[in-house]
């Protein structure tokens, strides 16, 4: 009987440890990584579609657009959970405090990001640079709209 | 004539600045971000498929698997360019020196990652947890195979 109770207690301790919520510093690190990884891919498209179209490589632009869409489709909002308003991931967060008091608006911004990113991925897969360019601008505006409101100057 | 020469010189300077190769510290930051973003998604699948299947959420697991595949489909090898053997991105790189002397083998590892990640995404979209679990293990082995050879202890 005693052994059974001890086993149950060990199991409870183990499971609460294993499935403990992610640490705030990890969540901040994940969101900073998601943003930085998107930035790399945005940079690829910007270079090959806007700045230097003679370097356009359909496969690379398509892969980059798909990557941005896949990031946008994950639950990014979960990375801005309560407890992550301040603190350090890779670096001290530059998310503004108001981000955490405007959940509905933030979700709306993330939804716009998702829509524009998925449109861009679809268009990029078609390979028509003249269609990619304006949709890339729409994606860029979606990023900018949220950053202007909720991100302090980097 | 003088004005023309000056203009041409300005244009050359501008274009070589705008299209300068990415700085090594940026490339290291991008690759560390790609890995950390994959880790978040691997963690989501591990929790919901392996550790706590009662928490399984098809959409979340599918989104996570698609994100890993999309990252794997980008040109990750470009983030290990010459000049990035040492130095600091978000933190000092832990890529081993031998990574940079074994390009063909590294590309082979990245190709295995791509294959296993895309298989996982396809299976995850089907929603059958009994098929997801063994394929997730295959993906995990693909990560592990490369890390064991080319990543120093974190």
Instruction: Give the model confidence (pLDDT) of A45-88 as tens digits.
Output: 999 999 999 999 999 999 999 999 999 999 999 999 999 999 99
- Residue A95 φ/ψ, nearest 5 degrees: -70, 135
Q: Could you tell me the residue range of the domain that residue A68 belongs to?
A: 2-150
Complex ipTM: 0.87
Cβ atoms of residues B68 and B92 within 8 Å? no
Mutate which of A67, A79, A80, A117 to disrupt the B interface (most B C-beta within 10 Å)?
Answer: A67
Task: Name which of B32, B36, B71 is nearest A30 (Cβ-Cβ).
Answer: B36
As beta bridge partners, residue A92 has A88
- B105 exposed, middle or buried (CB, 10 Å; 0-12, 13-18, 19+)? middle
List the CATH number of the domain containing B79.
1.20.120.10
What is the per-residue pLDDT for A20? 55
What is the per-residue pLDDT for A4? 56
Cβ atoms of residues A75 and A114 within 8 Å? no
Q: What is the pTM of this model?
A: 0.87
Task: Name which of B19, B43, B74 is nearest A41 (Cβ-Cβ).
Answer: B74
Taking alpha carbons only, the member of A2, A26, A143 closest to residue A84 is A26
From chain B, which residues contact A within 8 Å (Cβ)? 18-19, 22, 29-30, 32-34, 36-37, 39-41, 43, 47, 51-52, 60, 63-64, 66-67, 69-71, 73-75, 79, 90-91
Taking alpha carbons only, the member of B81, B149, B73 closest to residue B111 is B73
Q: What's the gap in Å between the CA of B87 and the closest CA on chain A? A: 16
What is the per-residue pLDDT for A12? 44
Please tell me which residue, B26 or B154, carries the higher pLDDT value: B26
What is the per-residue pLDDT for A66? 97
Q: How far apart are CA B46 and CA B96, in angstroms?
A: 27
Average pLDDT over residues B8-32: 69
Task: Name which of A33, A64, A74 is nearest B33 (Cβ-Cβ).
Answer: A33
What is the per-residue pLDDT for B36? 98
In chain B, the number of structural domains is: 1
Cβ contacts of B14 on chain A, cutoff 8 Å: none
Q: How far apart are CA A80 and CA A102, in angstroms?
A: 11
What is the per-residue pLDDT for B154? 76
The answer on pLDDT for B55 being more than 80 is yes
Cβ atoms of residues B116 and B139 within 8 Å? yes
8 Å CB contact of B19 and A47: yes
For residue A103, count other CB atoms closer than 10 A to its CB. 12
């Amino acid at each position: 009987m005693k052994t059974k109770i001890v086993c149950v207690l060990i199991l409870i301790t183990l499971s609460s440890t294993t499935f403990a919520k992610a640490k705030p510093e990890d969540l901040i690190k994940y969101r900073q990584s998601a943003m930085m990884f998107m930035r790399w891919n945005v940079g690829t498209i910007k270079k090959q579609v806007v700045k230097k179209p003679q370097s356009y490589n359909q496969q690379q632009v398509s892969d980059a657009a798909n990557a941005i869409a896949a990031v946008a489709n994950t639950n990014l909002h979960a990375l801005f959970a309560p407890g992550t308003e301040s603190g350090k991931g890779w670096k001290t967060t530059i998310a503004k405090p108001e981000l955490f008091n405007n959940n509905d608006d933030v979700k709306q911004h993330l939804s716009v990001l998702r829509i524009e990113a998925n449109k861009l991925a679809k268009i990029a897969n078609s390979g028509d640079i003249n269609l990619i360019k304006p949709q890339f601008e729409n994606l860029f505006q979606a990023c900018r709209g949220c950053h202007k409101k909720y991100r302090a100057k980097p």
